Amino acid sequence: MQLHPPKMKVPAWAVAVLLPCAVLWTMPQAHAQAGAACKPGGTVEETNACAVQAFQAADTEIAILYGDVMRALSAHERPQLRQEHTAWQRERTTRCKQAQRSTESQPQWPRLYHECLTAETQARRKGLMRWLTLDHPSAKP
């Protein structure tokens, strides 16, 4: 008799929030920065590490806000926000990769890429906050 571990069902929101972070940490440049300590104005590796840390903090903040907004919405509004947020995450990665394509082979690429991700993530706050007003997408006829 063979025993199988129980299957775990992972909520879609968890995949949407955690997958981009997992993808980033599988990138060789991110691994290289993980061991470096952040030191503003330091070596390339140290400033790259600072950019990675800043992005991680911004991404954590937006994930918390996303969860708070999801809990504040009614059940029929949540799928639309989930779809919008997932699309935004894909677009954020695509925009930043395209914006930094010319620097991809340079040592400062991780810093530039993560600075772009951080700026995109901080800008997302306004889009999430919109869901808590009468101006949110599901309130539109």
Domain that holds residue 100: 95-129
Looking at the structure of the chain, the number of domains it has is 1
Return the pLDDT at 24: 45
Which helix (H) or strand (E) segment is 8 a member of? Answer: none
Whether 27 is in a domain gets the answer no
Return the pLDDT at 141: 55
How much is the CA Rg of the chain, to the nearest whole Å? 18
Q: How far apart are CA 60 and CA 55, in angstroms?
A: 8
Whether 70 is in a domain gets the answer no
Please list the alpha-helical segments (H only) found in the chain: 12-25, 28-34, 44-72, 78-99, 109-130
Whether 134 is in a domain gets the answer no
Q: Has this prediction a pTM greater than 0.85?
A: no
Whether 103 is in a domain gets the answer yes
Q: How far apart are CA 4 and CA 1, in angstroms?
A: 10
Whether 30 is in a domain gets the answer no
Note whether 138 and 77 are within 8 A (CB).
yes
Whether 114 is in a domain gets the answer yes
pLDDT tens string, the chain, 141 residues long: the values are 444 444 444 444 444 444 444 444 434 444 444 557 999 999 999 999 999 999 999 999 999 999 999 999 999 999 999 999 999 999 999 999 999 999 999 999 999 999 999 999 999 999 999 998 877 766 665
| Cα dist from 99 to 16, 108, 117, whole Å | 22, 14, 10
| Cα dist from 12 to 16, 81, 86, 130, whole Å | 6, 12, 9, 22
Whether 43 is in a domain gets the answer no
